[in-house]
Amino acid sequence: MIEFRFPYILFLYIPFLLIVFFDFFRLKKIQLLPNTAENLKNILFEKIDLGKAKTRQAIVLFSTAILIFAASGPQIGIRLAPVERKGLDLVFCIDVSSSMRGTDVKPSRLDKSKFEISQMIQKLKGDRVAFIVFAGSSHLYLPLTTDYEAAQLFLDQIDTNMIPTQGTALSSAIQTGLSAFSEDNSKYKVLILITDGEDHEGEAIDLARQASKRDMIVHTVGVGTTSGSLIPEIDINGITEYKKDNSGKLITTQLNEKILEEIADAGKGSYVRFNNKSANYKNILKRIDAMEKRTIKSHIYSDFEEQYQKFGIVSLLLMIISMLISTRKN
């Protein structure tokens, strides 16, 4: 495992790449001087070996790239140590159907959900998280993990184009979510269903009830408003239009709180709502924090070995080599 003592130094690659880019086109421009300036080119480069000059420049650039990497303080984990954490298994089932593009909750239902989930993950300590995405079908997107940084990266990539089959198959989402849990003690497992509740299937309540009999908890989160929202769609020209039914009428998507309350009740959990207020996640987090937590055993890297010296030496050697290359013609 590689970590960086000064990761912000890696941002120097941005101006570095810009310099390389502009320098490349500057050389191209020189090489493409019109034939009428051939005599001028001969005078300018009379004593310069362009081949050697390019080689020297390439070595300097490569050396600089390695130097930036060395300055960021790369470290390699060399020893794993066992750790024990108190936590739960949390499976987030996230609705990615087209209705989640509704803007009655800003900036959109899905973006609001992702923001609240992200805030919740930042508050977790020792809990394992997993993601299920669903629309007309459901899929395990991220298996249970305590790597919260990876979870945040996966969460950022979730959008409404992930599943081509449209709909809101709540029963399928719950079934996939339950299968994401490991086979050990059920009382430390929580499923959080985040959706606008449209196009539900009746089996969802029965599945939530079955889960509660196995000591699992099913919370539901409603995203949206009962007044509803149109569903924006962006065409190939980047123009925003709104989804219509087969008769050409605009479709309004409304939050179905009744089904979500029934699922939460059957799953012995709670129903909360993500609206335009801030920190909606705290309502769910309070209930999770109040639960008994088990001891989860895992391993982390306890010792790291500095690697910057190796890269620094390579960079220095390349700089010396570039200085030894003469660009003068023999």
Tell me whether residue 113 is in a domain. yes
Which residues pair with residue 305 across a beta bridge? 76
Task: Confirm whether 140 is domain-assigned.
Answer: yes
Structural domain harbouring 31: 2-73+307-324
pTM of the full structure: 0.66
78 is a domain residue: no
In a domain? residue 253: yes
The span from the CA of 281 to the CA of 273, in Å, is 9
Kindly state whether residue 329 falls inside one of the protein's structural domains: no
Answer yes or no: do 160 and 266 share one domain.
yes
Q: What is the pLDDT of residues 207-248, one digit of tens each?
A: 999 888 888 899 999 998 888 888 888 777 777 787 887 788
Q: Are residues 95 and 194 in the same domain?
A: yes
Does 110 reside within a domain?
A: yes
Number of domains in the chain: 2
- Burial of residue 178 (number of CB atoms within 10 Å: 0-12, 13-18, 19+): buried
Give residue 247's pLDDT.
Answer: 81
Are 181 and 237 part of one and the same domain? yes
Same domain, 65 and 42: yes
Place of tokens 């930036």: 68
Mean pLDDT estimate for the chain: 83
CATH number, domain at 245?
A: 3.40.50.410
What is the C-alpha radius of gyration for the chain, rounded to an integer number of angstroms? 28
Half-sphere exposure of 226 (CA within 13 A, CB side): 5
Q: Judge if 95 and 209 occupy the same domain.
A: yes
Both 208 and 287 in one domain: the answer is yes
Q: What is the pLDDT of residue 52?
A: 79
What averages of pLDDT result for each successive group of 10 residues across the chain (330 residues)? 83 89 69 53 62 84 91 78 75 92 92 94 90 92 91 94 83 88 75 81 83 90 88 77 82 87 93 87 86 66 76 91 79
Do 223 and 109 lie in one domain? The reply is yes
Q: In this predicted structure, what is the pLDDT of residue 184? A: 66
Residue 330 lies in a domain: no
46 and 90 assigned to the same domain: no
The reply to whether 157 and 233 lie within a common domain is: yes
Q: Establish if 156 belongs to a structural domain.
A: yes
Tokens describing residue 136: 């007309």
Residues 229, 113 within the same domain: yes
Q: Calculate the CA 302 to chain-centre distance.
A: 26
pLDDT at 36: 47
The predicted pLDDT at position 303 comes to: 67
> Does 241 lie in the same domain as 127?
yes
SS (H, E, C) the chain: CEEECCHHHHHHHHHHHHHHHHHHHHHHHHHCCCHHHHHHHHHHCCCECHHHHHHHHHHHHHHHHHHHHHHCCEEEEEEEEEEEEEECEEEEEEECCHHHHCCCCCCCHHHHHHHHHHHHHHHCCCCEEEEEEECCCEEEEEEEECCHHHHHHHHHCCCCCCCCCCCCCHHHHHHHHHHCCCCCCHHHEEEEEEECCCCCCCHHHHHHHHHHHCCCEEEEEEECCCCCEECEEECCCCCEEECECCCCCECEECCCHHHHHHHHHHCCCCEEEECCCCCCCHHHHHHHHCCCCEEEEEEEEEEEEECHHHHHHHHHHHHHHHHHCCCECC
Q: Could you tell me if 273 and 130 lie in one domain?
A: yes
